[in-house]
C-alpha cells in the first residue's frame, strides 16, 4: 500500500477545521502531517474533543518547515482554515518562505479570500481592497457539481460559501438550461444553524438569543450572492434573504424561480434530474420536501423540485459545516489529487 499524501492545516481551532479533521481521519489516501494554531502545543483532541487522541499543534513557522520537508519528498496539500481576510496574507507569507516550491503545493482555502474573480468584485462585496489582487482569478472556484473538470489537477481552489453552495445547487440547473425568466425576481430564502457564525460566542449564536427564535438578517444583501452572480455574464435578478435558525447545523433553502414562457413543470424537473444524475452528493426528490435531519452529519444535499403556476419551487437541505464547508473542501481535494471523490466523506445523514 503506497504512503498517504501529507496534508497540512493552517488554522486548526475553528468549527470547519474540526469537521475537516474528523473527515480526514477516515481518508484512505491522505494523512494529517501538521496542524497550526496561534498557540502552538495545543492538543487537537482537546480543541476538538470529537477527535481521537492525536498530535499537538505547531505555529505557522513550524507548519512551513514541515511543508518544506514534505515538498522535498513529493506532493503535499495545504488547507487554509483561517477567518475571512486572514487567508490571503498567510498565503503570501507561505509563498515567500517556500519560494518556487510553493508552485508544487495543492492548496484549498475555506475562507472567502479567493472566491471572487477580480479585485473590483471583492471590494464591492467586502468593502476593502484585496491584499493579493494578482491572485484573484488564478484560484478555481470549487463547487464540484459544476466545476469538476476544472478541479481535477488544480493547484489552487477556493471552497464556496455555505449559502452560495445552496443557492447554486438550487438555481443553476434551470438558469444554465435557459428555463428561467430573467425579467422577474429570483427569490431565495434560507435558514442557517448557529455553526454558520463560527465558534466565537456572539449575539447571533449565543443560545438564549437563538433558541426558540427566528430572525432575518443582511436585509440589504448577503456577501455570498456575489459568488452566485460571478457565474453569469450579467447580474441575475437575485433576491436572497438569510435567516438565523434555532438549531446548530444545517441550511434549509427555499427558492421561487419564475419559469420562462412555455416551459412546463415536467421540463423543469427533467432538467434537474438530468443535471444531477450520478452525482454522489446530491439527491433529487420530486414533489417531496427534504428535511435537515436527513442530511446533517453528511456531505449530501437533498433537493426537492416541483413547479406551480409558472414558478419553479426548489428546496435544498444541506449541512453547512460539511457540504457547505469542510466536507466540500475535502471533496475538492479528492478531485485535485485524483482520489475517489467520496473518500473520507459521509454519505448518510444522522437521521435524528
CATH of the domain at 244: 3.30.360.10
Residue 160's pLDDT is what?
97
pLDDT at 250 over 70: yes
Q: Let me know whether 253 and 285 are in one domain.
A: yes
Strands 301-308 and 311-318: antiparallel
Residue 1's pLDDT is what?
58
pLDDT per residue as tens digits for the range 39-78 = 999 999 999 999 998 899 999 999 999 999 999 999 999 9
Residue 169's pLDDT is what?
98
Domain for residue 210, yes or no? yes
Residue 163's pLDDT is what?
96
Residue 2's pLDDT is what?
67
The pLDDT confidence band at residue 316, using thresholds 50, 70 and 90, is very high
Contact in structure between 167 and 188 (CB atoms under 8 Å):
yes
Residue 288's pLDDT is what?
86
Q: Let me know whether 255 and 210 are in one domain.
A: yes
Q: Let me know whether 128 and 220 are in one domain.
A: no
Catalytic residue among 162, 175, 301, 332: 162
* Number of residues written out for the chain: 352
pLDDT at 293 over 70: yes
Domain for residue 346, yes or no? no
Q: Let me know whether 204 and 77 are in one domain.
A: no
Q: Let me know whether 71 and 114 are in one domain.
A: yes
Residue 19's pLDDT is what?
96
Q: 3-class SS at 177? A: coil
Q: Let me know whether 150 and 167 are in one domain.
A: no
What domain range includes position 63? 5-160+325-337
Domain for residue 347, yes or no? no
Q: The C-alpha cell of 173 is what?
A: 440547473
Domain for residue 344, yes or no? no
Contact in structure between 42 and 18 (CB atoms under 8 Å):
no
Q: Let me know whether 210 and 152 are in one domain.
A: no
pLDDT at 199 over 70: no
Residue 44's pLDDT is what?
95
Q: Let me know whether 86 and 130 are in one domain.
A: yes
CA distance 42 to 171: 43
Residue 165's pLDDT is what?
98
pLDDT at 21 over 70: yes
Strands 251-258 and 311-318: antiparallel
- Is 162 one of the annotated active-site residues of the chain? yes
pLDDT per residue as tens digits for the range 115-158 = 999 999 999 999 899 999 999 989 999 999 999 999 999 999 99
CATH (domain of 92): 3.40.50.720
Q: How many domains does the chain fold into?
A: 2
Cβ neighbours of residue 172 closer than 8 Å, sequence gap 6 or more: 146, 231, 275
Q: Let me know whether 172 and 270 are in one domain.
A: yes
Q: The C-alpha cell of 150 is what?
A: 476544472
Q: What is the DSSP string of 220-250?
A: T--TTHHHHHTTSSS---EEEEEEE-SSSS-
Average confidence score pLDDT of the chain: 94
Q: Let me know whether 73 and 206 are in one domain.
A: no
Q: By percentage, how much of the chain surpasses pLDDT 90?
A: 88
Q: The C-alpha cell of 182 is what?
A: 430573467
What stretches of 74-182 show up as alpha helix (H) in DSSP? Answer: 87-98, 119-126, 144-151, 162-176
Q: The C-alpha cell of 214 is what?
A: 427566528
The pLDDT confidence band at residue 198, using thresholds 50, 70 and 90, is low
Domain for residue 276, yes or no? yes
Amino acid at each position: 500500500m503506497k504512503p498517504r499524501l501529507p496534508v497540512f492545516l493552517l488554522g486548526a481551532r475553528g468549527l470547519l477545521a474540526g469537521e475537516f479533521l474528523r473527515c480526514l481521519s477516515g481518508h484512505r489516501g491522505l494523512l494529517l502531517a501538521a496542524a497550526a494554531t496561534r498557540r502552538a502545543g495545543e492538543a487537537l483532541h482537546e480543541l476538538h474533543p470529537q477527535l481521537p487522541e492525536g498530535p499537538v499543534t505547531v505555529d505557522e513557522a513550524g507548519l512551513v518547515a514541515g511543508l518544506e520537508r514534505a515538498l522535498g519528498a513529493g506532493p503535499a496539500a495545504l488547507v487554509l482554515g483561517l477567518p475571512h481576510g486572514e487567508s490571503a496574507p498567510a498565503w503570501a507569507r507561505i509563498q515567500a518562505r517556500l519560494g518556487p516550491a510553493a508552485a508544487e503545493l495543492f492548496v484549498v482555502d475555506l475562507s472567502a479570500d479567493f472566491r471572487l474573480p477580480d479585485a473590483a468584485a471583492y471590494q464591492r462585496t467586502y468593502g476593502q481592497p484585496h491584499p493579493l489582487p494578482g491572485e484573484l482569478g488564478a484560484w478555481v472556484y470549487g463547487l464540484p457539481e459544476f466545476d469538476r473538470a476544472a478541479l481535477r489537477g488544480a493547484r489552487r481552489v477556493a471552497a464556496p460559501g455555505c449559502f452560495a453552495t445552496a443557492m447554486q445547487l438550487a438555481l443553476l440547473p434551470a438558469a444554465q438550461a435557459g428555463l428561467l425568466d430573467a425579467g422577474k425576481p429570483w427569490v431565495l430564502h434560507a435558514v442557517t444553524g448557529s455553526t454558520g457564525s463560527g465558534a466565537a460566542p456572539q449575539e447571533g449564536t449565543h443560545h438564549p438569543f437563538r433558541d426558540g427564535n427566528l430572525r432575518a438578517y443582511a436585509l440589504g444583501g448577503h456577501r455570498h450572492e456575489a459568488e452566485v452572480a460571478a457565474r453569469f455574464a450579467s447580474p441575475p435578478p437575485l433576491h436572497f434573504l438569510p435567516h438565523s435558525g434555532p438549531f446548530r447545523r444545517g441550511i434549509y433553502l427555499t427558492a421561487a424561480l419564475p419559469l420562462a414562457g412555455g416551459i412546463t413543470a415536467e421540463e423543469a424537473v427533467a432538467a434537474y434530474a438530468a443535471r444531477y444524475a450520478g452525482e454522489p452528493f446530491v439527491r433529487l426528490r420530486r414533489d417531496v420536501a427534504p428535511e435537515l435531519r436527513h442530511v446533517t452529519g453528511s456531505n449530501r444535499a437533498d433537493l426537492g423540485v416541483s413547479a406551480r403556476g409558472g414558478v419553479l419551487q426548489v428546496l435544498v437541505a444541506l449541512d453547512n459545516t460539511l457540504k457547505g464547508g469542510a466536507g466540500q473542501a475535502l471533496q475538492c481535494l479528492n478531485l485535485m489529487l485524483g482520489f475517489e471523490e467520496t473518500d473520507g466523506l459521509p454519505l448518510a445523514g444522522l437521521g435524528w
